[in-house]
Amino acid sequence: MTKIGLEIHLQLNTLSKVFCSCSTKQVETPNSNVCEICCGFPGSKPVLNKEAFEKALKIALALDCKINRVTFFSRKGYFYPDLPKNFQITQYESPIGINGKFRGIRIRRVHLEEDPGALVHKGSYCLVDYNRSGIPLVEIVTEPDFKTAKEAREFLRELITDLSYLDVYDKKSDFGLKADLNISTTGAKVEIKNVNGLKDIEDALTYEEERQSREVPKNSETRGWNAERRITVLQRTKESEDDYGYITETDLPVIEVSDKLLKVIKDSIPELSKEKLTRFTSQYKLSDKDAKVLSNNKRLSELFEKVAKQVDPEIAAKWIIRDLVNQLNYHKKTLDQANIKPEYMIDLLKLFEGKNITDNTTKQVMIKLIKEKNFSPKEYIEKNNLIMQSSNSKIEEWCEQAVKDCPQAVEDYKNGNEKSLNFVVGKVMQLSNKTANPDIVRKILVKLIRK
Amino acid sequence: MKAKEYVEKVKSREISAVKTTKGILNEIKKINGTYSFFNAISENLALELAERIDKNPKGKLAGLPISIKDDLCVKGVETTCSSNILKGYRPPFNATLVNNLIREGAVIIGKTNQDAFGFGSFNVNTDMGIPKNPVAFCGVSGVSPTYGLVSRYGLIDYANSLDKLGPIAKYVEDLELVLDVIKGYDFKDSTSLKQDIIKEKEVKKVGLIKETLDVDPKIKDIILKKLDEMNVEYEKVLLPKTSKYALPSYYIIAMAEASTNLAKYCGMRYGQEGKVNLPFNESFSEVRTKNFNKEVKRRIILGTFTRMAGYRDAFYLKAMKVRTLVIEEYKDLFKKYDLLVSPTMPIVAPKLSEVNKLKPRDHYMMDVMTVGPNLAGIPHMSVNAGFYDKLPVGIMFTANHLNEKRLFQVGKGL
Ligand SMILES: [Zn+2]
């Protein structure tokens, strides 16, 4: 039977690195976002970033872990060119959290550590970029509770969705997630090191499961994932466990997690996706499909909930979950980039709800809302006279003109072709600058033509 | 001349800092060829600082020439810890201690020699650094303050949890003056203390550590005589756990920490450069084999051994537990005594020819008196107590955490 366990490394979305004040922003020029601390220069000392610690604590709590109330850091020793001090500051004896559970999978531990730099291979030589060195990583270790690669991927997808709810992880950076994968089928346990992103993780596990059915591993081994060839490759067989010679990192103080801090962090944990899904279907009577779209997207659900407080949720659902998402996709923008103010969306949908603007106008204005910065729908609609015209005399005027302009369509309608009326309605809309109430237009046209 | 008098004269422009500095630099250059006191002479920096003082004589240390031990970073000045592996390394930043000295007008004249990475007992210096044995052997005074009182930022680590920085000078008054400048909380060193030295300085009762009297009888006599002169109530006390376990624990912790601190030197990022070829492990080994001396290698191997799985519990973790016991034993004595007294060294300064005959274990034994306080992180001070065959004998006072004022109080009275 297949057993899979994950050691997940996630980059926390802090402002600065975990032990120095360098920014965590991605920088193009190699080795330009570094200092004496993240390069491990002799004499430099680490200072713990409070934000990173609290975010790791938040994750441990969200994953239902038992919190170690006294926790400290350790040095994990190994020589590697991308590791500035040739030891990594991590946690060993006292991880922030232990024995948690998430989506039915047992969590062994959650701890905070520093990312090493990156090796850049160029033909026959290799360069080292330390820009990434010192980015805060949280390591989440699961028990070997997964039975399939698909289960593992689904778990990771839900995990990163929830972590983006917690505002501890930036979902956009797929590179922000790496994992070591432990998989055993019928033979010895195999570890696949350093796989990036959800798709590769699933593919590596699927490949390895299939491979092990062909060549049953006799000894424990470490393998790597070749992302180009989509296969795992043997790195070394393991005779014994790796020995990193852990000792306490005495340059950093022992941290006591106070009752107060624990409460503050607990209270800051928002509703997570699974709870949100259930609530959306019951509170707003949304379809499962709509509720799922919302629960997977923090910003969208925030926007929806703000709007649904003032506008009929059914209308809010149609325009936000379906139309807005479609338009964003079409214009290749994320909600963050579009940065739509909820007040503007409320203004717009209230006008629609009150039958003050047509379907068509709503759509056009929403596109402008996506594309333009600081665009006020209300002002725009007023300025351009887009308020729906329901005054009969005005609409009659446009209708009479349209009947004159489209004699053929009128004739066809008279001869029993119902559809040709749409052409005449379209003409009225054009004349009215899309502001005429289409229901009234239809009524008046039928009356005019039948006369 | 005491430092304070000198500083007053610089401030009243009786003495020119530039003139003093030039004189000292010339003197150093003359004798350094023979004695190698200095690894680097920071002539440009020294003259620049001295000129600044002559223009505007300000600060508690205005114009005072100070040398910095080679394990403290001085921006742009070669800093090697006297090890080949750091040859050519010019730190891009100042240690906090160096910044504090400069802020108060000190003139940094150079980097003094030490045993590579502070390993070993024989250094000749009258400066800033981890004052240990040189103090007793040279007949000067040195104070090693409470752990965390002086920021370690910019100190090239030997053993992080044990390293303390303090001044060495001729007079106790000078120690106090300089400590006042270099102490204080520093956010860049997470182990630095927010509390200040305790004001209380009265010394009513002193404990003479019985186990430390098992030394050359002539050294013992000098210590007892000095104690009688002090005119203070004293009695013999016991430190059984510390006497038995402090030395091995100190060495296990120090070597375990040192072996990780020394890992970063692999010829890739600073100091000695090696061509890094694949497999990189071999390139790293080549640089390390060539540039670390025998004592450094010995300690890396021992230190690495004590933290490996299977030995970790028996050595490193046990040593950490002993450390707690040692602290408790001292704390108990300080309930009753204001200070503890012992000789600083079990022997007088050996000649260079004798040093070469000492075995590694003999070297480690030199530290026997100072490891207890270092392990416990408590302050201790060594001053000259007299002479034996014309060689100086040091007397050591140890105080409770942050009780440096008591040390200075007795030191000034001697
Ligand atoms: Zn940095």
Q: In Å, how far is A44's CA from the nearest CA of chain B?
A: 6
Same domain, A180 and A221: yes
Q: Are both A362 and A216 inside the same structural domain?
A: no
CB–CB of B156 and A243 under 8 A? no
Chain B residue numbers with beta carbons less than 8 Å from the beta carbon of A48 are: 190
**pTM of the entire structure?**
0.82
Which of B147, B160, B321 should one mutate to test binding to chain A, selecting the residue with the greatest count of A CBs within 10 A? Answer: B160
Residue A151 contacts residue A144 (beta carbons within 8 Å): no
How much distance in Å is there from the Cα of A24 to the middle of ligand 1?
9
- Interface residue A322 vs chain B (CB under 8 A): no
Q: Structure tokens of B65?
A: 């020439």
Mark yes or no for CB contact A79/B304 under 8 Å.
Answer: no
Where on the phi/psi map is residue B160: left (φ > 0), alpha (ψ -120 to 50), or beta?
Answer: alpha
Please compute, for residue B218, the number of CA atoms within 13 A of its CA located in the half-sphere on the CB side. 10
In whole angstroms, what is the distance from residue A236 CA to residue A238 CA?
6
For residues A359 and A434, membership in a common domain is answered with no
Query: Which of A266, A299, A331 is the last residue before a domain boundary?
Result: A266
pLDDT band at residue A122 using 50, 70 and 90 as cut-offs? confident
For residue A390, what pLDDT is reported?
74
Shortest CA distance from B186: residue in chain A: A47
Q: How far is the CA of B77 from the centre of ligand 1 (A)?
A: 22
A274-310 pLDDT per residue, tens:
888 889 999 999 998 899 888 888 889 999 999 999 9
DSSP state for residue A178 in the 8-state scheme: E
Q: Contacts of residue B73 in chain A, CB cutoff 8 Å? A: 42-43
Q: State whether A376 and A421 are in the same domain.
A: no
A261 and A285 in a single domain? The answer is no
Answer whether A248 sits within 8 Å of B161, measured CB to CB. yes
Q: What are the b/e assignments for B224-246, b being 16+ CB within 10 Å? A: eebbeebebebeebebebbbebb
State whether A108 and A205 are in the same domain.
Answer: yes
Give the pLDDT confidence of A175-218 residue by residue, as tens digits.
679 999 999 998 899 999 999 999 999 999 999 999 999 999 99
The per-residue pLDDT for B123 is 32
B76 shares contact with chain A (CB less than 8 Å): no
**pLDDT higher than 70, residue A105:** yes
CB contact under 8 A, A251 and B154: no
- pLDDT for residue B17: 95
Alpha carbon distances (Å) from A427 to A384, A409, A416, A434: 19, 11, 20, 10
Percent of chain A with pLDDT over 70: 98
pLDDT of B302 higher than 80: yes
Of B81, B187, B266, nearest to A86 by CB-CB distance is: B266
Q: B8-62: per-residue pLDDT in tens?
A: 999 999 999 999 999 999 988 888 877 778 889 999 999 999 999 999 999 999 9
DSSP-assigned letter for residue A388: P
> Reduced to 3 states, what is the DSSP secondary structure of residue A253?
coil
**By the CB < 8 Å criterion, does B24 face chain A?**
no
pLDDT in tens, B54-93: 999 999 999 999 999 999 999 999 999 989 999 999 999 9
**Substitution target from A20, A93, A247, A248 for chain B, most B beta carbons within 10 A:** A247
pLDDT value, residue B265 = 95
Q: How far apart are CA B76 and CA B55, in angstroms?
A: 24
Q: Ligand 1: distance of its center to the CA of A26 in Å?
A: 13
The answer to whether A57 contacts chain B (CB < 8 Å) is no
A376 and A401 together in one domain: no
Q: Cα separation of A67 and A138, whole Å?
A: 15
Q: Please tell me which of the candidates A45, A247, A253 has its beta carbon nearest to residue B152.
A: A45
What does the pLDDT average to over A360-379? 88
Q: In whole angstroms, give the CA distance from residue B404 to residue B414.
A: 16
Residue B127 has pLDDT above 80, yes or no: no
Whether the CB of A377 is below 8 Å from some CB of chain B: the reply is no
Please compute the mean of the pLDDT values over residues A160-168 and round it to a whole number: 89
Residue B118: the pLDDT is: 55
Which residues have C-beta within 8 Å of that of residue B140, sequence separation ≥ 6? B126, B134, B168, B169, B170, B384
Q: Which residues contact B94 (CB under 8 A, 6 or more apart)?
A: B73, B74, B75, B102, B154
Mean pLDDT across the stretch B104-110?
94
The answer on A397 and A376 residing in a single domain is no
Q: What percent of chain B has pLDDT over 70?
A: 91
**Of the partner residues A43, A84, A252, the one whose CB lies closest to the CB of residue B95:** A43
Any B CB within 8 A of A47 CB: yes
Q: Do A45 and B188 touch (CB under 8 A)?
A: yes
Average pLDDT of chain A, as a whole number: 91
Q: pLDDT tens-digit profile of A81-102? A: 999 999 999 999 999 999 999 9
pLDDT in tens, A323-352: 999 999 998 888 888 888 899 999 999 989
A chain contacts of residue B86, beta-carbon cutoff 8 Å: 42
Residue A402's CATH number: 1.10.10.410
Q: A118 alpha carbon to ligand 1 midpoint, in Å?
A: 15
A81 in contact with B, Cβ within 8 Å: yes
B193-208 average pLDDT score: 96
Residues of A whose CB is below 8 A from B316: 247
Judgement on whether residues A181 and A246 belong to the same structural domain of the protein: yes
Tell me the chain B residues in contact with residue A247 when contact means C-beta distances shorter than 8 Å: 256-257, 260, 307, 316
Q: Which residue(s) pair with B38 in the sheet?
A: B112
Which residue on chain B is closest to A255 by alpha carbon?
B190
Contact flag A85-B264 (C-beta cutoff 8 Å):
yes
**Residue A281 DSSP SS3:** helix
**Which of B:299-358 have CB within 8 Å of A?**
304, 307-309, 312, 316, 320
Interchain contact, B263 vs A251, CB within 8 Å = no
Q: With an 8 Å Cβ cutoff, are B312 and A80 in contact?
A: no
Q: Is B283's Cβ below 8 Å from some Cβ in A?
A: no
State which of A241, A266, A291 marks the end of a domain.
A266
Angle at A260 between CA A259 and CA A262, to 5 degrees: 65
A365: which residues sit within 8 A by CB, 6+ positions away? A348, A357, A377, A380, A381, A386
Residue B121 has a pLDDT of 35
Continuous H helices in A166-221 = 198-214
| Residues A396 and A262 occupy one common structural domain | no
Q: Cα(B203) to centroid of ligand 1, in Å? A: 46
Give the residue numbers spanning the domain of A351. 271-383
B205-209 vs B233-237, strand pairing mode: parallel
Is the preceding omega at residue A144 within 30 degrees of 0, hence cis? Answer: no
Q: Which residues, chain by chain, have CB under 5 Å from ion ligand 1?
A: A 20, 22, 35, 37-38
Looking at the structure of chain A, the number of domains it has is 3
For residue A415, give the amino acid letter: N
* A245: its two tokens: 């010679």
In a shared domain, residues A305 and A418: no
Q: Are residues A7 and A42 in the same domain?
A: yes
Q: What is the mean pLDDT of residues B296-319?
A: 91
Q: 3-class DSSP state for residue A119?
A: strand
Domains, chain B, in order of start with CATH, read 3-182 (3.90.1300.10), 205-413 (3.90.1300.10)
pLDDT of residue B131: 42
